[in-house]
Homo-oligomer: A and B are copies of this chain.
Amino acid sequence: MAASKDSFGLIPVRSLATHELVLEQIRTAINLGRFQPGDRLPTERDLAEMFEVSRTTVREAVAVLEGESVIEVRRGRTGGLIVREASLTRKEYVQRLRQSRAELLGIFDLRLAVESAAAGLAAQRRTAKDLARLRRLLRAMGAIETSARESEEAGGPSSFSRFRGIDSQFHLAIAEAARSPRLAETIVAARGAMFHPIGAVFVKIEPSAHELHEAVVDAIDDRDHDRAAALMGAHIEATRATVEAWL
């Protein structure tokens, strides 16, 4: 990125093959919790249609994910592409995370910038519908947290996983309420990048998360730009601290 005197900021390019793009989208969707362990992905035929590519290309991506044990391919009438439970232990994950520590913490600089800004803009530009959606997502997360606390181990990882899915939806809903496609796009990319080294890891729900989520939504409700931005910033800083503590 540095514009060193001789290179004029021109840096090596690498063209991503179509199946790599498909792979990344599916992988990110799983990492963001849009597909939960046990869920079935759309059929290859549908995926090909969504991505506007041929089935061959989808199959190449699917083959990689199967090779990584991220999904399981079941044949026959009841078959399909099934998302598997994350197979690494938490210890193994932390191991992997440490290897991309700098990268991971760096991403928080970006998230802090764009998600705070998005929360601020959302406070100014949100519609009643946006607000209703945020409240609905808050309730859903609350329910998961409660049930998780009650049966400490019962749902275990699975409840974390569901939490992460809804958490992602929540952050993206704020990005949408900010009515700024570029900003939203950057947020998605940053979140995707954050989960990339992690995979669909089970994340301990940090205690403050739910409270801060609610506070952000209240600020957005009040159309208070600065408070919304500040609270979102605090939330992300708290997450950064939690992650940093693991490493």
Interface residues of A (CB under 8 A from B): 1-3, 7-18, 21-22, 25-26, 29, 32, 34-35, 42, 47, 50-53, 106-107, 109-110, 112-114, 116-118, 121, 169, 172, 175-176, 178, 180-188, 190, 193
Nearest neighbor of A56 in chain B, beta-carbon distance:
B56
Copies of this protein in the assembly total 4
- The reply to whether A1 and B52 contact each other, CB–CB distance below 8 Å, is no
CB distance from A83 to the nearest CB of B (A): 12
- The reply to whether A12 and B51 contact each other, CB–CB distance below 8 Å, is yes
- The reply to whether B21 and A9 contact each other, CB–CB distance below 8 Å, is no
A22: B residues at CB distance < 8 A: 13
Nearest neighbor of A10 in chain B, beta-carbon distance:
B50
- The reply to whether A15 and B15 contact each other, CB–CB distance below 8 Å, is yes
Complex Cα spacing A10 to B178, Å? 20
CB distance from A182 to the nearest CB of B (A): 4
